Structures are given as structure tokens and as C-alpha cells.
Amino acid sequence: MPRVKIAPDWARWASEIFQPPLTLAALLVALPWSANPGVWSLLWGLAAAVVVCGVPLSVVLVLVRRGVLTDHHVSEKAQRRPVMIGTLVMVVGFLIAALYFKGPVEIVGLLASTVLAGTLLAVVSPWWKISGHGMMMGGTVVVLTVSWGPFGLLFIPVALFVSWSRTKLQAHSGSQVIAGFLYGVVVLGGIYAWLVL
């Protein structure tokens, strides 16, 4: 029986709703539009969300159905690096397009910080399963605060709740979640802040 079956429902819901691809997709759509409301910003955000998040997640779901991957969170350490590398290739491709076609700075900042933060995560994951959820939650707190000021800090309880859910699911140890969260704050959030401010 998979370990997640014995976990509380709230932990499974929190982990699913705020999984990294969905969180990043929401940021890619919301941040450019909130900075410059309009059709152009919305189209850029939707395109980025589909290419960078939707396509890789769809591929992962297909591989899970075929038995190539154990689950869509890619819980097995040995399976994480190929998935992360494939996702990073998609991110880099769209980042190049956003730079070439002068896309919104928020998208450029999000994708560049995701590439740089995700690369180290991909290197470390086969040996120590640092939490991708934790990284995304920590980074999102910084990204939202940089973009929306003090209102972004309202995300802190959500970020902590989601991070806690990963330990309740026994998907990560407490140290892996804390390391991921702090890494997200410093690297993902820090790079985004440096690029957009």
C-alpha cells in the first residue's frame, strides 16, 4: 500500500493543490497580469504555464500510467533527475523565447530563477531528496512579496502548511523540507528579486 494512503486527507490535498508545477503555473499567469493587466500579459502567462508546467506534468502523468514512474510527485530518488532535466529543458526553451520576444520581466525572472534553482535540485536529488514542494513554497513567499509587497507575506501560512503536509505524507524528512524551503527563499526567491527589482 502506498504511504500516502495512510496520510490525512488535508495533507494530500495541500500537497496536490500546491504541487510545484501548479504553483509555478499560477505565478506565471498571475504576476505578469497583476503588473500590467491586459491581454498581452495574460497570453504570455498562459503560454508559459502550458509549455513550462502543463506539458511536463502531462508527460509525467503518462509515464506514471505506463508504470515508468512510481507517482506524479516522482518520489523515487533515482527517477527524479531525468524528470527534472526534461522539465528544465522546457523551461530554458521558453525562457529563450521570452528573452528574444521581450516577454514580461516577471516571466523571465520566474523562469530564470527556476532554471538556476532547479539545476542544483536535480544534481542533489538522486542522493538526498530535498523537497521540491518546500523549495517552491519558500520561493513563492519571496516572489509574491517582491511583486505584491506586504500582501505577499500572507502566503507564509499557506507555504508552511504545504511544507508540513510533505512530512505528514512521509514524502520527505523534516530536514529535507526545511532545506528545500530555505533554499527556495534564498536561491529561487533571491534570484527572482535580483532580476526584477
Q: Is 118 exposed, middle or buried (0-12, 13-18, 19+ CB in 10 A)?
A: buried
The chain-wide mean pLDDT, for the chain, equals: 91
Q: In this model, does residue 7 exceed pLDDT 90? A: no
The predicted pLDDT at position 5 comes to 53
Domain ranges (residues) in the chain: 9-196
pLDDT digits (tens, 9 = 90+) for 143-167: 999 999 999 999 999 999 999 999 9
User: What mean pLDDT is predicted for residues 64-69?
Assistant: 89
Q: In this model, does residue 171 exceed pLDDT 60? A: yes
Assign 38 a pLDDT band (cuts: 50, 70, 90): very high
**Of 84 and 163, more confident:** 163
The predicted pLDDT at position 177 comes to 96
